[in-house]
């Protein structure tokens, strides 16, 4: 899977690229990540990429010309132009089904905005898939792009050591339940015991406990995710 990130701040990605699961995936050639600075396509002698908004108002708007030219040039570096995603709070909201959709593409171009966003003509010309990671405003699209990359690479075959571990994550099931509680050693900590059933070795009972725990958690924390059949089940309020 190939990612190309277009940003004014490529350095933001350096820690993430050299530390995480992403680094392992890159080292194993499962994922390729290329960073491009939109400023390199500025034709201005000061290398400026933004300007004041027409009509007045605060902040700066990223200009259409360097952005469109950057995207077109980066698209042309591969026979597969790729699926263009613009990270913006105005986009459709990212969730696991959208992550799964994005993971179908062999190549994703992630366009990160800053300031007051891009000149509208960037969207009019390039028609990107506009994606938001939630109803809040970040200082730029870079953290959102990392979020997309982080979620998508989990679905790239071979990236996770244990092939099962992404399938059993919250939201990966058809019924979108939250993940059940997990425990590791010690068996008792500050008076809190690991549920007996998890120590029993009875895989059927363990699977049943986990399913019930998932439904209970989902009903307490995110009842909006529950299929009708499970609504109202185990829904005592949470302590924390």
Burial 150-174 (b: 16+ CB within 10 A, else e): ebbbbbeeebbeeeeebeeebbbee
Q: Give the position of tokens 């969730």.
A: 95
Out of 66, 82, 128, 141, name the contact with ligand ADE by CB under 6 A.
141
- Output the CA–CA distances (angstroms, integers) from residue 98 to 22, 116, 148, 152, 181, in the order listed: 20, 25, 10, 10, 25
Q: Is 89 in the site for ligand ADE (CB under 6 A)?
A: yes
Task: Give 87 or 160: the residue with its C-beta nearer to ligand ADE.
Answer: 87
Token pair 């491009």 is found at 36
23/83 with CB nearer ligand ADE: 83
Is 186 among the catalytic positions?
no
- Give dist(CA 113, CA 6) in Å, integer: 9
| Residue 38 lies near ligand ADE (rule: CB under 6 A) | no
Chosen residue from 134, 158, 227, 232 binding ligand ADE by CB under 6 A: 134
Stretch that binds ligand ADE, among 7-15, 126-134, 203-211, 222-230 (CB under 6 A): 126-134
Q: CA geometry: angle at 237 spanning 236 and 240, to 5°?
A: 135
Among 1, 99, 108, 144, binds ligand ADE (CB under 6 A): 144
Residues binding ligand ADE: number (CB under 6 A):
13
Q: Is residue 169 among the annotated active site residues?
A: yes
Q: Which two tokens stand for residue 239?
A: 């302590």
Q: Does 111 bind ligand ADE (CB under 6 A)?
A: no
Give the burial string for 22-31 (b: 16+ CB within 10 Å, else e). Answer: beebbeeeeb
Which of 133, 149, 151, 178 lies at the binding interface for ligand ADE (CB under 6 A)?
Answer: 133
Q: What is the largest CA-CA distance in the chain?
A: 71
- For residue 72, the surrounding DSSP H or E stretch is helix 64-75
* Rg, the chain, Cα only: 22
Nearer to ligand ADE, 1 or 111 (CB): 111
Give me the catalytic one of 2, 39, 107, 154. Answer: 154
Using the rule CB under 6 A, is 67 a contact of ligand ADE? no
CB 65 within 8 A of CB 126: no
- Torsions phi, psi of 166, nearest 5? -80, -35
* Catalytic residue (choose from 78, 100, 169, 235): 169
Cβ proximity to ligand ADE, 36 vs 217, nearer residue: 36
Closest to ligand ADE by CB, 137 vs 192, is: 137
List of residues contacting ligand ADE (CB under 6 A): 87-89, 113, 132-134, 136-138, 140-141, 144
Catalytically active residues are: 89, 116, 154, 169
């Amino acid at each position: 899977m190939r990612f190309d990130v277009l940003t004014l701040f490529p350095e933001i990605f350096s820690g993430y690229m050299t530390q995480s699961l992403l680094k392992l995936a890159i080292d194993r050639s499962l994922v390729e990540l290329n960073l491009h600075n939109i400023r390199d396509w500025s034709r201005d002698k000061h290398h400026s990429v933004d300007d004041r908004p027409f009509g007045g108002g605060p902040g700066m708007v990223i200009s259409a010309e360097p952005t469109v030219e950057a995207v077109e040039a980066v698209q042309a570096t591969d026979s597969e132009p790729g699926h263009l995603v613009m990270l913006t709070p105005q986009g459709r909201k990212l969730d696991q089904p959208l992550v799964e959709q994005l993971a179908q593409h062999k190549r994703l171009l992630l366009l990160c905005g800053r300031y007051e966003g891009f000149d509208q003509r960037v969207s009019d010309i390039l028609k990107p898939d506009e994606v938001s990671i939630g109803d809040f405003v970040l200082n730029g699209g870079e953290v959102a792009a990392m979020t997309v990359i982080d979620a998508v690479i989990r679905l790239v075959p071979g990236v996770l050591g244990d092939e099962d571990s992404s399938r059993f994550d919250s939201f990966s099931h058809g019924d979108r339940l939250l993940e059940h509680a997990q425990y590791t050693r010690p068996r008792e900590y500050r008076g809190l015991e690991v549920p007996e059933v998890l120590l029993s070795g009875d895989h059927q009972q363990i699977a049943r406990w986990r399913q019930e725990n998932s439904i209970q958690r989902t009903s307490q924390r995110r009842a909006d995710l529950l299929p009708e059949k499970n609504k109202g089940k185990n829904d005592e309020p949470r302590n924390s």
